[in-house]
A and B are shown apart, each in its own frame.
Chain A
Amino acid sequence: MSKKIAVIGLGNSLRRDDGIGIIILESLLNDYKRPGIDYLNFGIASFDLVHRLGNYDAVLLIDGISSGLPAGELKIFGLDEASFVKEDSAVSSHELNLKDIFRLTADLGIKAKIYVAGIQAQDVGFGESLSQPLKDKLPELTKQIDQFIGKICVTRYREK
């Protein structure tokens, strides 16, 4: 049996670039859907990640980031490669931020390998459309993220 992989979109699609994770998830589903992978829209729920992550061997979270990069730049990283600088940043769910969620997950002994595909946001004001830089880069971002998903599949298959 192959390893279980999930691709999870996070964000609020009514807050412009904050919804990039959801929009890319939808693009992946429309154009690049791979068999055997769960593509999940988590929207602005995050605590549920805690018990969902345990169902998978590898998880790719797609979300907007604020990291001082040029707008629309993609950074894919493992949790050991980044620090979440603001205690109150990250996904919703009653102020249990992603940092807490990852700590909780690790402390619970959940072994899933977690990657984050972060896209530098430009505008997280109210609205449904992406900012122009993100809109322009959407096809390329989707392609790059799918290629990374392909790598996860290969790695996981080898580890199996």
Chain B
Amino acid sequence: MTKSSSKIDPQNVKVDVHYLTRVEGHGNIVVDVKEGKLAKCEFQVIESPRFFESMLVGRSIWEAQHLTSRICGICACGHTLASIKAAEDALGVTPSDEVVMLRKLLLYTEMLDSHILHIYILVAPDLLGVKSVVPLIKTHRPVIDMALRMKRMSDYGGEVLAGRHIHPISYVIGGLTQLPSREGLEKLYSLMLESRKDGEETVKIIKTLKFPEFQRPTQYMSLTSDEEYAMYDGDLTVNGKKSKVSDYRKLFMESVVDYSRAKISRIEGKSYAVGALSRFNNNFDQLNKKAKAVAKELGLKAPCHNPYLNTAAQLVEWVHCLEESITILEKILKDGLKEEKVVVASWPKRSEIGKIKYKPNTGKGCVEVPRGSLFHEYTIDDTAHITAANCVIPTNQNMGNLEDDMRKIVPELLGKKTQSEITLALEMLARAYDPCISCATHLLDVKFV
């Protein structure tokens, strides 16, 4: 980051953030203002291309969700569920209501987990003027302890529901391979009840923090449903206009740019946003009462056109997801889970895979994950092996919108802010989208001393 703290020549400004920190993967911010004109404004994704789609080709559709759950360490459940939905669409499998309820619970749990990580570990350091969460242990110890407690609760949710806290194993096509234990569900319920207090405390804290002011209306895309605040299912909605998930390829176009490994997506030639703020803007009316109250307390109103407030929308969603999860758990603990409705009765044996005949077909699945709408699409042959796959992740969809935000904000800051303040504003803007750039290889780079 540039160290300069003096005001800059607004005619000539260069920002080059090489490796934006506190985001998943590697991305650069490059801005170049020459003689008062914005010559370059790019968010460069420099990760190696994602080859998961080609890795899926030739594999049995029955194992797709286990493979795709490895795409992301944060949204592993979301990838699993989008994958399962696409597979079920291709195979013509309809899950029971109980299974759908458990899938929603898993999705809410992942939303709780990811949102609290973003709010406290990735964004709070910016708002408190420190470089990372580490110094906050000394200055804000009770808050960090609370954040870890909240994280532990959602982490436990994944373990109880999906067999382990990362890369779920028990959620499969048609249902689950085993019932979550009653003991585990009771403990999760109790942890969630305790978390309410931490949520209230978090609202008080976030309320005191000042988010940058910036406005740019854009197209907001998310799932919507008449029945609920849509996360697991629904139609795609862009500023009030609805489309079927099956038509997603007609709705937005992905294109390649020469400076980034990520594709840029556009709807009718214009960038669009996905994620918590888009869902909040499209589905505000269906938030539960407590989440609406939190939005009011934070001064967040739909439609909100300040992308920095995506973090506030995440907190509103955290409260929503917690309350929805508690409601589901109360139902489960009262009524119990019927094994025959949840656990998959039949599963092709390894020796049978490739021998059973299926109707060649294409299936599409979409769920809302913490960063936005996630799509999986698979085409299968008559042995249910995948012949083509497409995965569209939220971060790619947001890239064009982020760049358009940068194009608007840079001229607004020129002459008013120092070079380092402009750089920080752009870093914070990128982080507000909670980008998850890579499927992260994570080799330890070690020097022995």
Contacts and interface: CB of A to CB of B under 8 A. Distances in A.
Contact of A103 (B22, B122, B134): B134
A93 B73 contact: yes
Contact of A13 (B70, B132, B155, B449): B70
Interface stretch (A29-37, A38-46, A132-140, A143-151): A38-46
Given A93-B24, A95-B21, A107-B138, A126 B74 contact: no
A116 interface: yes
Interface in A111-129: 116, 118, 121, 124, 126-128
B372 to A, nearest CB: 16
B52 interface: yes
Main secondary structure of the interface of B (DSSP, over half): loop
Interface residues of A, number: 54
Interface in A81-124: 81-96, 98, 100, 103-104, 107-108, 116, 118, 121, 124
Interface string B1-39: 000000000000000000101111110000000000000
Given A92-B73, A93-B73, A126-B51, A45 B445 contact: no
Contacts of A43: 70, 73, 76, 166-167
Contact of B144 (A13, A67, A108, A126): A108
B167 A108 contact: no
B338 interface: no
Contacts of B166: 41-45, 48
A14 B70 contact: yes
B67 interface: yes
A64 B144 contact: no
A89 B165 CA distance: 23
Contacts of A63: 442-444
A65 B445 CA distance: 6
Interface in A64-88: 64-67, 75, 77, 81-88
B151 A67 contact: no
B117 interface: yes
A45 B133 CA distance: 17
A98 B23 contact: no
B444 A65 contact: yes
Nearest to B149: A51
B445 A12 contact: no
B445 A107 contact: no
B118 interface: yes
B445 A90 contact: yes
B148 interface: yes
Contact of B442 (A41, A90, A100): A90
B19 A88 contact: yes
Contacts of B22: 94-96
18 contacts: A14-B439, A42-B166, A44-B166, A44-B439, A47-B121, A47-B151, A51-B152, A51-B155, A64-B444, A65-B445, A85-B447, A88-B19, A90-B442, A91-B442, A93-B74, A96-B133, A121-B443, A126-B51
